[in-house]
Amino acid sequence: MESKKEIEEIPDKKLNCEWTFLYTSRKEQDRHIPYENRTQEIFSFSTLKEFFTRFMFIKNIELIPRDNEIAVFKKGYKPLWENAPESAFWFYRFHPEDDKYLNIKWEQLVFAVIGEQFDEPNILGVVLSKRGRETVIELWFNYFGFNKIKSKLESKFRNLIGLEYEDMLFFKENKDSFKDKSSLRNAETYGHKKRRKFTYN
């Protein structure tokens, strides 16, 4: 993470669109509240300096308690199935012991999304969901049934979070999540190696 001095030197470069950082509680005591009402906007930003000035105060992923979810989405969108009915998402499931590796992976993914590194206008945002037994990272995008978009983003998503071709990645359309009432259940699987063991280089 950049220091305060380094952030002050970042040019106030305008991003291609406005983004919003969101937080959702997945705690047991909050589950009687509809999911959309538990999803709160923390801050919005439209320049690099606005982003880094606020992002530097976000906790390290390892320190965020379980049953919490954070996301960065284009302004006007939220990680809600009904909010983006034509969208889909790729996701990967990490073991809890992988948390110490997730901070850099999450930062790289967020930077890639807001910096248009995916070169795909249909990108909507990214989600990091810390659950009881795992942490799930999701890449959301408007899909419209176009497999060209799907395959292009699979490759870039794998690369950004450090996966090989054989590592098992998951895909699901929002219309199917809405039908199943679950983001993870009945997802399509790509790859045959269930979970890799991450290590420091």
Pairing state between β 188-190 and 169-173: antiparallel
Give residue 192's pLDDT band: very low, low, confident or very high (50, 70, 90). confident
Q: Find where tokens 């705690």 sit.
A: 27
Q: What angle do CA 194, 197, 200 make, to 5 degrees?
A: 150
Select, from the ranges 9-23, 52-66, 102-116, the one with the highest average predicted confidence (pLDDT).
Answer: 102-116
Q: What percent of the chain has pLDDT over 70?
A: 92
What is the Cα–Cα distance from 64 to 55, expressed in whole angstroms? 14
Residue 140, C-beta contacts closer than 8 angstroms, at least 6 positions apart: 73, 77, 79, 84, 87, 88, 89, 123, 124, 125, 126, 127
Give residue 159's pLDDT band: very low, low, confident or very high (50, 70, 90). very high
Burial level of 193, CB count in 10 A (0-12/13-18/19+)? exposed
34 strand-pairing partners: none
Phi-psi region of 162 (alpha: psi -120 to 50; beta: other; left: phi over 0): left
Asked whether residue 153 carries a pLDDT value surpassing 90, the answer given is yes
Phi, psi of 48 (to 5 degrees): -60, -40
Predicted confidence (pLDDT) per residue in 36-59, tens digit: 889 999 999 999 889 988 888 888
- Say which DSSP state 60 is in: P
Angle, helices 147-161 vs 99-114, to 10°: value is 130
Which tokens sit at 171?
Answer: 């895909």
